[in-house]
Amino acid sequence: MFKTIEDHVRQQVAPAALRAEFRQHEFDNSRRFCQLIFCVSIAVWLVFDLIVSYLGNQGFTWLSGLFLALMCSLTVVLGFTRKSHHFDVLNLLFISVITLGMRLVIEGIPTPLRPVWLVLGTSTVLYSVSVLPVRRWSFFCAMAITWAMLNPFYGTNIDLDDLEAAMLLSYAVFLSGLVIYSYLRIRQAKLHNFYMSKLLLEQAYVDVLTEIPNRRSFMAKAERQLHQAPPGQYLAMVDIDNFKKVNDRFGHDIGDEVLKRVAVHIKASMAAFEFARLGGEEFAIFFQGLDQTEAEYLVETLCKRVREDLGAHPVTISIGLARVDRADTLTMALVKADQALYEAKHTGKDRFVMWTSRLAAES
């Protein structure tokens, strides 16, 4: 079953909205990792600069301090960055600064050693970029900046027809191809995993037929709101009147259409609150921040809305409404709403009933 779903997902083309959500999700989860990469890069550059400055008798100049300050500033800015597309630009700035800094440091070592260190620096930067949550345009721009700044043929006295030049070119092509392939494959795998996780979560928490939250989702969200205990909490149980007769007379396909239509009305009129299909023809709505008059008005309006829907196979609904007290658990609130719903069903239907202690005594 899992393999079938996985194969299906891999065949899908992720829409632009999903890709944007994926990029933001990945950046949110990787922000600390990005900061770590920036900090480690600064540390490596600083150590190398100090070695060249003192062992190479170059001296630690004000220019080194300037590059260090710029990279540290960009790392601090990263801590306040919240949008993935902002990170794409910030990463390019960091790559530009650190590769230019590497170039200037490497210029301080003997000429014969420069190509090796330039290629080593390029390899390090490209690997770091390939694992960061950046978009394709940002990745390829970073790659171009890196090769431009750390070009092993510039300032190294290497002739293009030398053996060393041929080896450097071969390595550059191999390195670039490997990094590009790894980046694209990793991004694709992450996108598919995100897509699959989102799909499975939706199947677990969204009712497939009506496309509104299911019982599992409602219980989790309502339980959390119940624990927060804001004022004015009410729970409504909604049931479609004579739904069994609709199924028996017209078939389950018509019954499904009726369920979808009622769900549309609930979704349209109760968008500000938690609602779900609990199962069968039963729905639930969890109100908060209302007084009793407001809650009663909303459920009465919902009854009227369904009643006045004169589409094919019209139906009505009955609603049980219960105020959620501070001492109530979610189960207790559901029992109260169900008792009120029972009263509404047995006293005429197409109406709502507010729970009272009398209903508990009679049940």
Known catalytic residues?
281
Question: Token pair of 84, please?
Answer: 């993935």
Query: What is the length of the chain?
Result: 363
Which helix (H) or strand (E) element contains residue 279?
Answer: strand 274-279
Burial degree of 235 (CB within 10 A; 0-12, 13-18, 19+): buried
What angle, 0 to 180 degrees and rounded to 10, lies between the N-to-C axes of helices 84-106 and 16-50?
A: 20
Give the separation between CA 165 and CA 160, rounded to whole angstroms: 5
Q: How many CB atoms lie within 10 A of CB 170?
A: 10
Contacts of 349 (CB under 8 A, 6+ apart): 241, 242, 316, 318
For tokens 């508990």, the residue is 360
